[in-house]
Amino acid sequence: MVLPLAGDERVWKKMIDAVDGLVFIGGGDVDPALFGEKRHRKTKNVVLHRDKQECWMMRYVKEKGKPHLAICRGMQVLNCLRGGTLYQDIAETYPTSINHSRSDAPADTIHEVTIMPSSLLGSVCGHEDLPVNSRHHQGVSRLGAGLAASAISEDKLVEALEYEDGSPCIAVQWHPETLHKDNPRHLAVFEWLVKTSEQLK
């Protein structure tokens, strides 16, 4: 069920109430005004209505205890919603030898991430280092309140987040939807979402 960008809080509430779980997908950059910064020259494709709608929806699904999976932009929105900040362009603002912005290779593994041993992510897809793709030019800088890093890349950039209070949420910076056919560990986050949504509805 695809939830469109539409309406206001009344419409958003009806959409969330109609589903048992939710995926917040990738897309354009988050408006840096959400974390108190001016736009970097490489910040692009900002859609203010989408930022507002997704922030409201994330608050509401957290309040209702509904499971949700946040992918790429979705993870960045979650971090900003909780008062965190972003590197607006990793290549220019973060010291790294990894090219994280590999949109030319959407299904290729670009680097590995180390998963935190006690994390929800680790319990879902295993604790061994995980090869991931990388299609983002922005990334988490300061962690938002109540969030914990559940995976980091080889250059120490945060690659996954979850709530410290155990709320049913997994947020990843990579794109498991284009890796799951070749690696069942990437499919596991979607299986977790379906299973948890069935259990909690």
Chain centroid offset of residue 62 CA: 14
77, two tokens:
């929105």
Active-site residue, selected from the candidate residues 72, 80, 125, 169: 72
Annotation says 191 is catalytic: no
User: Does the annotation count 49 as an active-site position?
Assistant: no
The answer to whether residue 177 is catalytic is: yes
67 with 200: CB under 8 angstroms? yes
Spatial CB neighbours of 63, under 8 Å, sequence gap ≥ 6: none
Set 54, 159, 162, 177: catalytic member = 177
Greatest C-alpha distance within the chain: 46
Q: Which of 3, 65, 23, 21 is CA-nearest to residue 198?
A: 21
Contacts of 179 (CB under 8 A, 6+ apart): 107, 109, 132, 133, 186
List, by residue number, the catalytic residues: 72, 175, 177
